[in-house]
Amino acid sequence: MLVIVAGIAAVLRPRAASTLDFYLAGQRVGVATNACAICGDYFSAASFLGVAAAVYVSGLDGVWYATGFAAGFVPVLLFVAAPLRRFGEFSIPDFLGRRLESEKVRLAAVTVIQLIILSYLVPQAVGSGITWELLVGHGIAGLSPYATGVLFSTAAITALVALGGMRGTTWTQAVQFLLLLSAFIWLTIAVIGAGFNYPDAVAELTREPLGNPEHAGGQWRTATEPNRIEPGTPAYFGEPGARYGRLGQFALIITLIMGTAGLPHIMNRYFTSPTGTAARMTTVWVLGLAGLFYTLAVLLGTAARTIIADAADELPWLDALTVHGVLRVPEHAPLVLGRIYGGELGLGFIATGALVAVMSTIAGLLLASAASWGHDVYERHLNPRATQRQAVWAGRIAVAVVALLSAVIAVSLRPDSLGALLPSMVATMVTWAFALAGSALTPVFLLAIWWPRTTATGAIAGMSTGAAAAMAMFAAGTFADDSGLREMLLTPTVVAAPLAVVVTIVVSRHTSTPVNLESLWLRLHGTAADRHITRLARLTVAGVTPRRARATRHDGTRGRMGKGERHE
């Protein structure tokens, strides 16, 4: 798979040193291709390994991850995709900076986005270490298998991103998504063909209290999960309450849905569409593909809980991975199913899917980071006179630095040390990134798109408040004794996002809106005909001939327009 994607990246790499090609693939990515690339970008280790793991370890409560991850694209479809592409910039900080006509907003957004990217990168690297540990089982150059997996996957995808840019990454992510989906489809066919029945399995698993391994006193043992909704009673696989109380389940869903619209590596992809309509149709495709993918993930998590327990007595190699028939590391569930039904080849196929899920998402995150540092910081502030080649190299250097930092943090973590505290380490850590995005970025993002009164000062205050509230609640949640309070604090969007909205609105009402608000609003929400007529009227007043008009960009500068600009 690495050879295939490396070949794609090499063939489709930018031929000229152009930031438009490196960051946005020339804004010529079609609907189906972009939808598959977004899925490859979005269906990370948290989706491929984490959702099945969360269902495996906590039953119905794990399904909330699948629900929130898929439903997050509904607000993107309704409120974000089309106006974002119509405005047409390089990144979220670029969009906010130009929409609010403020460089301070741009830099504030860069800071928040880098925190989100780092929070998202680390669990992807953790997922690659977990997969390598089970697939290969030994390290390189004296490193542990886990550390080897983290460093190998990070280094490989960093090289591919630096080589291929957005154009190469788009096609590699599309191919990688098709592999992910194929792996889940094959595994689903295998388990159903062997006699697995989902309703019967849920009913059978719900007959006895839910128990999971925990490490205490230097030994592994199985402990019954308490019900968070009805304290004093045990939790059951097919009933809510195994991991979250009533408020915690609601808070988790809101965090995942709100967070999707603020994920920089996903939102940046909409700038690659040729038109606003194409961006909206891309999201429709993504919703359908996400529904299919997460349905299979839930089914496979349930299948693993039944099948692995039954196979533990017959397959000696499961002894090192399980305690009384239950996996010590829940993320191993799809991988173990692959080995049960396909032997070493099946394990290799599913492990390839897992590593591809990790690397595909890392690629998108690194590109988003590169756009923020290379375009929004280097080009706009550090070296405004930078050539296109210098700007592209600044982005490549940013890719390497951010990748190295995430790998170092991931290597310092140990999945088995936190497994007893989290339903899925990978899925839970990704939830923290969603929480930060949904608390600090999404509220300001939506207000900037739909409330014309939003100001630069208000946006900075809102982002700062949302980020500070989310991080403060995270910190408090790690020390909270009460499980219900801890759930709420670790999924803070339901509190932090409204707080960010209120602060943004209050501060905006006491500060000045952008000078060119009318033209900015037209770019966001006007029809193509509206924008065309307005542009021609301005050019006519300025005395520009039709021939010169065709060579004039929408921002008033001369030069060759991109395909997306002509359509818009």
Within-domain flag for 496: no
Q: Assign residue 402 the CATH number of its domain.
A: 1.20.1730.10
Dist CA 519 CA 402 (whole Å): 36
For residue 562, what is the DSSP state?
A: P
Residues 286 and 407 in one domain: yes
Within-domain flag for 478: no
SS3 at position 197: coil
Q: Which pLDDT value is given to residue 559?
A: 38
DSSP E strands in 95-227: the ranges are: 211-216, 219-224
Within-domain flag for 466: no
Give the number of other Cβ atoms within 10 Å of residue 151's Cβ. 23
Residues ≥6 apart with Cβ < 8 Å to 215 = 416, 417, 419, 420
More reliable by pLDDT, 16 or 55: 55
- Tokens for 505, please give them: 């609105």
- Per-chain mean pLDDT for the chain: 82
Q: Which pLDDT value is given to residue 244?
A: 87
Give the number of other Cβ atoms within 10 Å of residue 475's Cβ. 10
What are 511-554's pLDDT values in tens digits? 999 988 888 888 888 765 555 565 666 666 666 555 555 444 44
Angstrom distances, CA of residue 195 to CA of 52, 60, 307, 568: 19, 22, 10, 53
Residues ≥6 apart with Cβ < 8 Å to 315 = 340
What are 450-471's pLDDT values in tens digits? 999 999 999 999 999 999 999 9
Question: Looking at this protein, which amino acid is placed at residue 316?
Answer: P
Dist CA 442 CA 457 (whole Å): 16
Within-domain flag for 489: no
Within-domain flag for 110: yes
Which one of 420, 447, 480 terminates a domain? 420
Count of structural domains, the chain: 2
Which one of 420, 454, 474 terminates a domain? 420
Letter string b/e over residues 374-390, b meaning 16 or more CB atoms within 10 A of that residue's CB: bbbbbbbeeeeebebeb
Residues 143 and 284 in one domain: yes
The backbone torsions φ and ψ at residue 322, rounded to the nearest 5 degrees and listed phi first, read: -125, 160
Average pLDDT of the segment spanning 421-429? 61
Letter string b/e over residues 415-431, b meaning 16 or more CB atoms within 10 A of that residue's CB: beeebeebbbbbbbbbb
Domain that holds residue 370: 2-420
What percent of the chain is modeled with pLDDT above 90? Answer: 32
| Region of 433 on the Ramachandran plot (φ > 0 left; ψ -120 to 50 alpha; else beta) | alpha
Within-domain flag for 517: no
Query: DSSP letter string over 128-145?
Result: HHHHHHHHT---STT--H
Within-domain flag for 488: no
| Region of 324 on the Ramachandran plot (φ > 0 left; ψ -120 to 50 alpha; else beta) | left
What are 195-213's pLDDT values in tens digits? 999 999 999 999 999 988 8
Average pLDDT of the segment spanning 246-256? 89
Which one of 398, 420, 442 terminates a domain? 420
What are 100-140's pLDDT values in tens digits? 999 899 899 989 998 898 888 888 888 788 878 877 888 88
Of the candidates 259, 269, 260, 247, the one whose C-alpha atom is nearest the C-alpha of residue 466 is 259
What are 265-284's pLDDT values in tens digits? 888 888 777 777 888 889 99
Asked if 75 and 356 touch (Cβ cutoff 8 Å), the reply is: no
Within-domain flag for 133: yes
Residues 398 and 533 in one domain: no
Q: Which pLDDT value is given to residue 208?
A: 92
- pTM, rounded to two decimals: 0.80
In this predicted structure, which of 167-171, 254-258, 346-350 has the lowest mean pLDDT? 167-171
